[in-house]
Amino acid sequence: MIVYFLLGIGVGLTVFPKRWLKANDRVQTAGICLTLFSMGASVGSSPTFLEDLRTAGLQAVVFALATMAGSVLAVWLLSRLLPGKEGGDGE
């Protein structure tokens, strides 16, 4: 999977037309939504989903929250360390 990501970076840096960026953003959002829907349908179709969820309990919640907190921290740190354009949407 990482190979496709790296190939995409290469295409984006070299041959991807800038005028397609907005459309590409919409395609990415649709792709993420479709992936999340597909994963949810797969998990929800398990006959033991609710029982498995009860069994995992607090440990699963703590793991999920720690993962989210780590992601937010990484983005915050990288946004401070890496150079960015002045006056961007995030500032």
- Residues 40, 43, 47, 51: is their CA dihedral positive or negative? negative
16 burial via Cβ count (<10 Å: 0-12, 13-18, 19+): middle
Q: What is the pLDDT of residue 36?
A: 94
Q: What is the pLDDT of residue 86?
A: 57
The pLDDT tens digits of the residues spanning 31-44 come to 999 999 999 999 88
Q: What is the pLDDT of residue 84?
A: 74
Q: What is the pLDDT of residue 4?
A: 94
Query: Which residue stretches of the chain have pLDDT < 50?
Result: 88, 91
Q: What is the pLDDT of residue 58?
A: 83
Q: What is the pLDDT of residue 89?
A: 52
